[in-house]
């Protein structure tokens, strides 16, 4: 009997150290040594790089700083950290002892007016408590806490995902706003040139050297330009309104300030892209997917633990004190003992739960792998786009110079009667189109620069100057 008393707690201690389910191992992806369009292969820490400062646009820098802590998507992701942190507490609480206490007090009496009647009064005070402790024999709650901790890490990474999406959306929208301003200004220049051609045509007609058809054609080109201007104004206002929304402000809140105008954003230096393996560390969406995989793997252990017996230690103590007119006294009762639960017949539900958890973990692994491959693709595409856009911008600058010279020559020839008005109008169309094409290519170049930096996770870990967004990684961070 004494041997049994010694072996029982020892066996419980050994069983409580048993944790079922697979132990998590971080996945590996077969990645190339370097990007095909990259330079020298070297590791790069991109998460703290404020790449938007390469545009040297103070207004853009101010907008980025203003919205870093005010963007509503980022604020929602911060709230999810609070939720995930509470889930860690909930997950760990199941494996801890639970104690509940309570108490009550009552008083009752009786008064009589008959002969010999008397007053009686009884007071009852009672208190009690109960306690229970589910012994975590097979690590169900330890795996649950492990899963919740990994989900907390994923919530922290989700903040960086939201922050990176905000940076991408804000900068590309700002680039779009400045493009529309530039295109509008260029069309205003074209309008002035075409009005000059119209006046020249009217003067030549007055001298008898031009026809009414020439005047009508020149007027048509002026009106065509006037019809194109409102579209650029609409594009600018829509971009400005979206910037306000990204900053957590009502639409039109920043429109007046942006109307002051600025040159189109142009990256002033190149980006160090690192190597494909850096993406696993730098991109928050890849880190989030990896942490979600860790959470799903731990959930397998939770499901497997339910296949095995569970042991609960429980007990209760109840006491009461009665004070009556005639006498007083107390009562007390207590109980304590273990209870064992053996899952025998459940229709295959518990085994199916394990299969579900394993499938969910495999799906999460495939999602992680897909996220990694998508990241590599995005970097490669951005590199190709950036290089080609540099070449396109350089070529279009030459096209604009040639078109400007062609228009000057056509106008001089028309004044001298050597060419027709159609030559002048064609030259003006070519110049206007080449100018707008150049502006669009500069926009595309800036967008490719943004896409490249977002693809490598650039700036995702930069927090607002006041440090509001996060309070540090969880203790379970890898």
Q: Which is more confidently placed, 213 or 133? A: 213
Between CA 308 and CA 341 the distance in angstroms is: 9
Residue 7 has pLDDT above 70, yes or no: no
Give me the pLDDT at residue 467, please: 52
What the chain holds in terms of domains, given with CATH numbers, is: 20-95+139-308+348-455 (1.20.1600.10), 97-135+309-342 (no CATH)
Measured CA to CA in angstroms, residue 297 lies from 23, 26, 80, 281 at distances of: 8, 11, 21, 20
What mean pLDDT, rounded, does the chain reach? 85
Between CA 148 and CA 145 the distance in angstroms is: 5
Give me the pLDDT at residue 19, please: 85
Q: Which is more confidently placed, 372 or 200? A: 372
Are 473 and 295 in contact by the 8 Å Cβ rule? The answer is: no
Residue 117 has pLDDT above 90, yes or no: no
Give me the pLDDT at residue 325, please: 64
Q: Which is more confidently placed, 3 or 98? A: 98
Give me the pLDDT at residue 418, please: 82
Using a pLDDT cut of 70, give the percent of the chain over it: 88
Q: Which is more confidently placed, 272 or 384? A: 384
Between CA 432 and CA 428 the distance in angstroms is: 6
Residue 337 has pLDDT above 90, yes or no: no
Angle between helices 140-206 and 421-455 (to 10 degrees): 170
Residue 401 burial class via C-beta count within 10 angstroms: exposed 0-12, middle 13-18, buried 19 and up: exposed
Confidence of residue 371 (pLDDT cuts 50, 70, 90): very high
pLDDT tens digits for range 124-168 = 777 767 777 777 788 888 998 999 999 999 999 999 999 999 999
Confidence of residue 401 (pLDDT cuts 50, 70, 90): very high
Average pLDDT over residues 235-245: 96
pLDDT tens digits for range 56-81 = 999 999 999 999 888 998 899 989 99
pLDDT tens digits for range 287-319 = 999 999 999 999 999 999 888 887 877 777 876
Residue 17 has pLDDT above 80, yes or no: no
């Amino acid at each position: 009997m004494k041997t049994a008393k010694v072996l029982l707690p020892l066996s419980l201690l050994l069983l409580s150290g048993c944790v079922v389910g697979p132990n998590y191992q971080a996945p590996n992806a077969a990645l190339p040594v370097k990007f095909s369009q990259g330079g020298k292969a070297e590791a790069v820490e991109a998460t703290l790089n404020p790449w938007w400062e390469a545009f040297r646009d103070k207004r853009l820098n101010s907008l980025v700083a203003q919205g870093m802590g005010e963007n509503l998507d980022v604020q929602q992701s911060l709230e999810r950290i609070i939720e995930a942190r509470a889930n860690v507490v909930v997950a760990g609480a199941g494996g801890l002892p639970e104690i509940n206490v309570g108490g009550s007090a009552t008083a009752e009496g009786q008064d009589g007016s008959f002969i010999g009647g008397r007053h009686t009064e009884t007071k009852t005070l009672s208190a009690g408590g109960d306690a229970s402790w589910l012994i975590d024999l097979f690590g169900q709650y330890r795996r649950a806490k492990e899963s919740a901790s990994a989900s907390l890490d994923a919530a922290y990474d989700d903040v960086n995902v939201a922050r990176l999406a905000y940076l991408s959306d804000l900068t590309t929208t700002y680039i779009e706003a400045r493009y529309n301003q530039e295109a509008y200004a260029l069309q205003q220049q074209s309008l002035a040139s075409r009005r000059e051609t119209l006046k020249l045509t009217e003067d030549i007609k007055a001298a008898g050297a031009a026809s009414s058809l020439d005047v009508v054609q020149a007027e048509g080109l002026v009106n065509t330009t006037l019809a194109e201007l409102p579209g650029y104004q609409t594009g600018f206002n829509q971009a400005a309104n979206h910037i306000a929304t990204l900053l957590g402000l009502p639409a039109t809140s920043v429109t007046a300030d942006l109307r002051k105008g600025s040159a189109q954003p142009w990256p002033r230096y190149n980006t160090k892209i690192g190597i494909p393996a850096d993406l696993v560390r730098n991109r928050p969406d890849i880190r989030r997917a990896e942490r979600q995989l860790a959470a799903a793997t731990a959930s397998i252990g939770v499901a497997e633990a339910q296949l095995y017996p569970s042991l609960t230690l429980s007990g209760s103590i109840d006491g009461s004190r009665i004070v009556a007119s005639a006498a007083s006294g107390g009562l007390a009762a207590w109980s304590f003992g273990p209870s064992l639960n053996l899952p025998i017949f459940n229709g295959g539900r518990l085994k199916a739960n394990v299969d579900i958890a394993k499938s969910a973990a495999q799906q999460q692994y495939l999602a992680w792998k897909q996220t990694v491959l998508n990241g590599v693709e995005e970097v490669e595409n951005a590199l190709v786009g950036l290089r080609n856009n540099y070449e396109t911008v350089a070529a279009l600058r030459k096209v604009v110079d040639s078109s400007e010279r062609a228009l000057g020559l056509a106008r001089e020839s028309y004044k001298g009667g050597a060419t027709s008005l159609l030559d002048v109008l064609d030259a003006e169309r070519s110049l206007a189109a080449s100018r707008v094409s150049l502006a669009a290519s500069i926009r595309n170049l800036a967008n490719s620069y943004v896409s490249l930096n977002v693809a490598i996770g650039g700036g995702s870990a930069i927090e607002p100057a006041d440090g509001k967004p996060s309070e540090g990684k969880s203790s379970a961070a890898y």
